[in-house]
Amino acid sequence: EGITRFNFDYSGYCNYDNDIGEFMCRYRKIDLEQWARKEHYLYYTNSLNVEVNMTANMDVSELLSFCHTNGYKFYPTLIYCVTKVLNQIENFKMFKEKNGDLCVWDSLVPNYTIFHEEDHTFSDCWTDFTDDFDSFYKNITSDMELGKTKRGIKVKEGQPANFYCVSCTPWTAFTAVSSRVVNGGAAFFPIITAGKYDEKNQMPVNITIAHAVADGYHIGLFFEYLQKEISKEYLNSNLE
């Protein structure tokens, strides 16, 4: 499908003539001349093509309680919360379409890792996103169960273009995460990694994104919104 980590060929997934794709692929172009970050975008695209990443601890006490009380699994519930937050912040939904124009998706879908206990390998999978928690939870847990029976990097065909990456390393309470592709550019799509929570239910969460589309302010919003999204009030509202 012409997929690499940093040079995604979106034309295989979306109809650019109609701006409509099968998997929530609606998008719009950014008017650079009217965008306050134009100079920053051009600088971090043409002069200093770098990523920025940051790690912060999230208090997952109420998320754990919500899952235990209602019989939900932690990982898919966390993915729901992360996706919901990313979709609230325009800077994390940006991409370059085939003509090089900067665009923003209407929404993102999660592309997540599935760990195989038997051989200690992993696969990745994706699930279409909806704000309806029950529907999303049912779909993602079904995809995860199917993914456990398969091996290889990709266990579900048709990965849409409007994806972001999310994974969890429950064995390690890290303080920072960084990954680079040799001779690669910066990823416009967010890369989220969650770690092991400690005895005080503090869990490290890392976000990596191209500096061309996001700054520390936007990353700060992500952590602020995520902490609210995993609070008892917000979680219970998803069941109403």
What is the set of active-site residues? 211
Instruction: Kindly give the residue spans of alpha helices, DSSP state H, lying in 18-156.
Output: 38-42, 61-70, 74-86, 133-148
DSSP letter for each residue of 147-176: HHT--SSB-SS---SSEEEEEE-TT---S-
The neighbouring-strand residues paired with 21 are 14
Distance, CA of 154 to CA of 111 (rounded, Å): 10
Q: Which long-range contacts (CB under 8 A, 24 or more apart) does 72-79 make?
A: 72/137, 73/141, 75/112, 75/144, 75/168, 76/137, 76/140, 76/141, 76/144, 77/137, 78/168, 78/194, 78/230, 79/110, 79/112, 79/140, 79/166
Which of 36, 34, 40, 39 is closest to 52 using CA atoms?
40
Assigned token pair, 131: 């704000």
